[in-house]
Amino acid sequence: GAGVSQSPRYKVAKRGQDVALRCDPISGHVSLFWYQQALGQGPEFLTYFQNEAQLDKSGLPSDRFFAERPEGSVSTLKIQRTQQEDSAVYLCASNPYRGRTEGYTFGSGTRLTVV
């Protein structure tokens, strides 16, 4: 596609529910990143994929967070047993390079509200 597509745009979850957020990167982009942006804050790194390999998951806040990119294209971020502090915008970004930060294209994000 022309850009990075994320779905859903908005998600309201009851505390304790599991959610799955989808990211469709630009076709052919090797690198894919997930960031979490709380209200009034800058984005914070969650995890990084190079093709299907998850090379860095150091930013995932707890073992309730899980991400995958099984075929090296679409990625899913799953949050189990959601809690109120998980409320944030989840941003996905991709670029065509390995291990570089040039050429980032961000999606519009998924706004998750946990009630």
Partner 1 sequence: KQEVTQIPAALSVPEGENLVLNCSFTDSAIYNLQWFRQDPGKGLTSLLLIQSSQREQTSGRLNASLDKSSGRSTLYIAASQPGDSATYLCAVKRNYGGSQGNLIFGKGTKLSVKP
Residues at the contact surface with partner 1, assessed by CB under 8 A: 4, 31, 33, 40-45, 48, 55-56, 58-59, 91, 93, 95, 97-109
Q: 32 vs 114, which CB is nearer to partner 1?
A: 32
Buried b (16+ CB within 10 A) or exposed e, 76-106: ebebeebeeebbbbbbbbbbeeeeeeeeeee
Q: Which distant-in-sequence residues (6+ apart) come within 8 Å of 30 by Cβ?
A: 50, 51, 95, 96, 97, 98
Nearest CB to partner 1, comparing residues 53 and 115: 53
* Cα angle 72, 82, 95; round to 5: 25
User: What's the closest the beta carbon of residue 83 comes to partner 1, in angstroms?
Assistant: 23
Query: Which of residues 50 and 73 has its CB atom nearest to partner 1 in the complex?
Result: 50
Nearer to partner 1, 58 or 84 (CB): 58
Q: Compute the least distance from the CB of residue 24 to partner 1, in Å.
A: 13
CB of 16 to partner 1, least distance (A): 27
Residue 64 beta carbon to partner 1: minimum distance, rounded to whole angstroms: 20
The dihedral sign for the CA sequence 11, 96, 100, 105: negative
